[in-house]
Amino acid sequence: MSVWQKEIGFALLLFLVALISGSLTGHILLFMFLLTLGLWIRQLLQISRFERWISMGGRGEYPRVSGIWEDIYHHVYRIKKNERKRKKKLGKMVDQFRKSTEALPDAAVVLGPSDEIEWTNKAARDVLGLHQSDKGQRIPNLIRFPEFIRYLKSGNYHEAVILPAPVDHRITLAVRVVKYGAGLRLLLAQDVTQLKKMERMRKDFVANVSHELRTPLTVLKGYLETMRDMDDGNSPLLTHSVLQMQGQTERMQHLVDDLLLLTRLETQQKKVQCVDIPALLQQICKESDALETAAGRIELLLETDTRITGEEQELRSAFTNLLGNALKYSPDDSKVTIRWRRSESAVILDVEDQGEGIVAAEIPRITERFYRVEVKRSKKVSGTGLGLAIVKHVLMRHDAKLNIVSEPGRGSCFSCCFPVTRACR
Ligand code: ADP
- 10 Å Cβ neighbour count for 354? 17
Do 119 and 110 contact (CB within 8 A), yes or no? yes
For residue 269, what pLDDT band results from cuts at 50, 70 and 90?
confident
| Centroid of ligand 1 to alpha carbon of 162 (angstroms) | 33
351 lines ligand 1 (CB under 6 A): no
Decide: helix, strand or coil at residue 353: strand
63 vs 123, higher pLDDT: 123
387 lines ligand 1 (CB under 6 A): yes
Residues 411 and 357: their CA atoms lie apart, in Å, by 4
- The mean pLDDT of the chain is 92
Residues 186 and 160: their CA atoms lie apart, in Å, by 13
> Is 415 a residue whose pLDDT tops 90?
yes
- Identify the burial level of 136 via C-beta atoms within 10 angstroms of its C-beta, where 0-12 means exposed, 13-18 middle and 19 or more buried: exposed
| Centroid of ligand 1 to alpha carbon of 170 (angstroms) | 41
pLDDT tens string 279-318:
999 999 999 988 877 888 999 999 999 999 999 999 999 9
Residues 190 and 87: their CA atoms lie apart, in Å, by 34
Nearest in space to 289 (alpha carbons), one of 314, 319, 330, 323: 323
384 lines ligand 1 (CB under 6 A): yes
The β-bridge relationship of strands 184-191 and 172-180 is: antiparallel
329 lines ligand 1 (CB under 6 A): yes
411 lines ligand 1 (CB under 6 A): no
Closest protein CA for atom 25 of ligand 1: 357
Closest protein CA for atom 11 of ligand 1: 372
| Centroid of ligand 1 to alpha carbon of 324 (angstroms) | 9
Q: Which residues, in sequence order, are bridge partners of residue 116?
A: 138
Residues 11 and 17: their CA atoms lie apart, in Å, by 10
The preferred substitution site among 321, 329, 391 for testing ligand 1, maximizing ligand atoms within 8 Å of CB, is 329
326 lines ligand 1 (CB under 6 A): yes
Decide: helix, strand or coil at residue 337: strand
166 lines ligand 1 (CB under 6 A): no
pLDDT tens string 85-95:
999 999 999 99
Where do the H-state alpha helices sit in 26-121? 28-55, 68-103
Q: What is the pLDDT of residue 272?
A: 87
**Mean pLDDT along residues 317-334:** 94
pTM: 0.68
pLDDT tens string 143-170:
999 999 999 999 889 889 999 999 999 9
Decide: helix, strand or coil at residue 188: strand
| Centroid of ligand 1 to alpha carbon of 345 (angstroms) | 28
> Is 378 a residue whose pLDDT tops 80?
no
Amino acid at 127: V
Q: Going by C-beta distance under 8 Å and a sequence separation of 6 or more, which residues neighbour residue 132? A: 120, 125
Decide: helix, strand or coil at residue 175: strand
Residues 349 and 342: their CA atoms lie apart, in Å, by 9
Kindly provide the residue ranges of all beta strands, DSSP E only, lying in 94-237, ordered along the sequence.
Answer: 107-111, 117-120, 161-164, 172-180, 184-191
325 lines ligand 1 (CB under 6 A): yes
Q: Which residues, in sequence order, are bridge partners of residue 111?
A: 117, 185
Q: What is the pLDDT of residue 383?
A: 86
372 lines ligand 1 (CB under 6 A): yes
311 lines ligand 1 (CB under 6 A): no
| Centroid of ligand 1 to alpha carbon of 311 (angstroms) | 24
For residue 22, what pLDDT band results from cuts at 50, 70 and 90?
very high
| Centroid of ligand 1 to alpha carbon of 196 (angstroms) | 30
385 lines ligand 1 (CB under 6 A): yes
> Is 394 a residue whose pLDDT tops 80?
yes
Amino acid at 301: L
Do 353 and 334 contact (CB within 8 A), yes or no? yes
The β-bridge relationship of strands 298-302 and 336-342 is: parallel
Closest protein CA for atom 19 of ligand 1: 325
Q: Within a 13 Å sphere around the CA of 330, how many CA atoms are in the beta-carbon half?
A: 26
> Is 59 a residue whose pLDDT tops 80?
no
Closest protein CA for atom 12 of ligand 1: 366
Helix (H) or strand (E) holding 378, with range, is none
310 lines ligand 1 (CB under 6 A): no
| Centroid of ligand 1 to alpha carbon of 69 (angstroms) | 85
| Centroid of ligand 1 to alpha carbon of 359 (angstroms) | 12
